[in-house]
């Protein structure tokens, strides 16, 4: 019996071709969507730290602080993104305002035109900065009725206080306070500002002055001096020569209230200021040209002396000179 005929050759070929095409399609479709999605561009570069929430609070110290170096801008980094996002620009922080102390006027910050700040103190601690100030002890020269003791120099509530009162530790004598900035600053020529007030009190003097660092007196530059009373005026006096010759000027104001007294000391010239305004200028070859230091002092007078009388029955039990801040500069 003849054998059954096999499938035609073209049909076999067609089936094989169809299988190959189907398999290729499956492989092609299985690759769709397998490419990695584009990484989203970050809002901030991870290398850049966040900006501080506010500017730093400056600290004021008896030793001038070095000027901080500016923070360098971050370097640009190469991005693998086809379209890099530019860095966001930020505005610099606003300048810091110093805290306002008990006088209602903040301590000046930084340099002034023609002057470089070299010393300052706003007395915001709980004690006197012993690295900057030295306190007085003993009897003032030429004033046997006066007496100084360090216990009468007090720092509290953001201010320096020189206290004058009858002290039982000294036989109930009138005892006062005084201090010198010699430990912090001795210089030839400069600008000085002192924010202060003083209680009225007959026979209790208060002085803000420049004293020769050598200790050889005179010269002396008093840029606020009051021998006692109602504090209705203050005197600026240049002392010079072996016979203590003097050139004095006076200005009226209520110094039982806060004021800023100042002096600009330059070769042959003294400029006295009150609350930022020049009230007198002295040009003289007697203006000292030697290192001096700034002192602040109070003292009771001596009974029987006309110019510096002692306290009387009208004098309050406590007479204080208060200082909110001091600043000193050298010529720039």
Under DSSP, the state recorded for 112 is B
Asked whether 223 and 281 are in contact (CB, 8 A), the reply is no
Torsion sign (Cα): 185, 62, 132, 174: positive
The torsion region of residue 231 among left (phi > 0), alpha (psi -120 to 50) and beta comes to: left
Q: Which residue's entry shows tokens 């006295």? A: 272
Predicted confidence pLDDT, tens digits, the chain (332 residues): 444 444 455 554 554 555 444 444 433 333 333 333 332 222 222 222 222 323 333 333 333 333 333 333 333 333 334 444 444 545 555 556 677 899 999 999 999 999 999 999 999 999 999 999 999 999 998 899 999 999 999 999 999 999 999 999 999 999 999 999 999 999 999 999 999 999 999 999 999 999 999 999 999 999 999 999 999 999 999 999 999 999 999 999 999 999 999 999 999 999 999 999 999 999 999 999 999 999 999 999 999 988 889 999 999 999 999 999 999 999 99
Under DSSP, the state recorded for 168 is G
Tell me which residue of 142, 258, 160, 192 sits closest to 150, measured CA to CA. Answer: 160
Instruction: List, in order of start, the domains of the chain with CATH numbers.
Output: 115-331 (2.60.120.200)
Cis peptide before 219 (omega within 30 of 0): yes
Query: What is the structure's pLDDT at 61?
Result: 32
Tokens (6 digits) for 312: 């009387």
pTM listed for this prediction: 0.72
Torsion sign (Cα): 162, 165, 167, 168: negative
Tokens (6 digits) for 189: 């020529």
First to last CA, the chain: 129
| Three-state secondary structure of 211-249 | EECCCCCCCEEEEEEECCECCCEEEEEEEECCCCEEEEE
Query: What is the structure's pLDDT at 99?
Result: 78
Under DSSP, the state recorded for 312 is -
């Amino acid at each position: 019996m003849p054998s059954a005929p096999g499938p035609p050759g073209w049909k076999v070929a067609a089936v094989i071709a169809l299988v190959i095409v189907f398999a290729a399609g499956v492989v092609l479709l299985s690759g769709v969507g397998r490419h990695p999605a584009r990484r989203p561009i970050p809002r901030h570069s991870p290398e850049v730290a966040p900006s501080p929430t506010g500017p730093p609070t400056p600290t004021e110290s008896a030793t001038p602080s070095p000027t901080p170096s500016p923070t360098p801008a971050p370097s640009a980094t190469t991005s693998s993104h086809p379209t890099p996002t530019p860095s966001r620009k930020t505005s610099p922080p606003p300048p810091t305002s110093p805290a306002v102390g008990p006088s209602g006027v903040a301590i000046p910050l930084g340099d002034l035109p023609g002057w470089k700040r070299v010393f300052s103190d706003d007395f915001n601690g709980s004690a006197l900065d012993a690295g900057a100030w030295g306190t007085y002890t003993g009897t003032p020269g030429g004033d046997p009725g006066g007496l100084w003791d360090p216990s009468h120099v007090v720092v509290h509530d953001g201010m320096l206080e020189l206290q004058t009162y009858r002290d039982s530790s000294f036989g109930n004598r009138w005892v006062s306070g005084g201090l010198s900035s010699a430990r912090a600053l001795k210089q030839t020529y400069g600008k000085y500002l002192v924010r202060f007030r003083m209680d009225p009190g007959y026979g209790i003097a208060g002085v803000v002055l420049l004293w020769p660092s050598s200790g050889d007196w005179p010269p002396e530059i008093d840029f606020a001096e009051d021998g006692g009373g109602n504090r209705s005026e203050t005197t600026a006096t240049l002392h010079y020569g072996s016979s203590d010759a003097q050139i004095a000027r006076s200005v009226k104001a209520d110094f039982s209230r806060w004021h800023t007294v100042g002096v600009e000391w330059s070769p042959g010239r003294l400029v006295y200021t009150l609350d930022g305004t020049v009230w007198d200028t002295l040009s003289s070859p007697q203006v000292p040209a030697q290192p001096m230091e700034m002192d602040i002092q109070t003292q009771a007078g001596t009974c029987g002396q006309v110019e510096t009388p002692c306290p009387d029955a009208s004098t309050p039990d406590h007479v204080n000179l208060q200082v909110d801040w001091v600043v000193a500069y050298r010529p720039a």
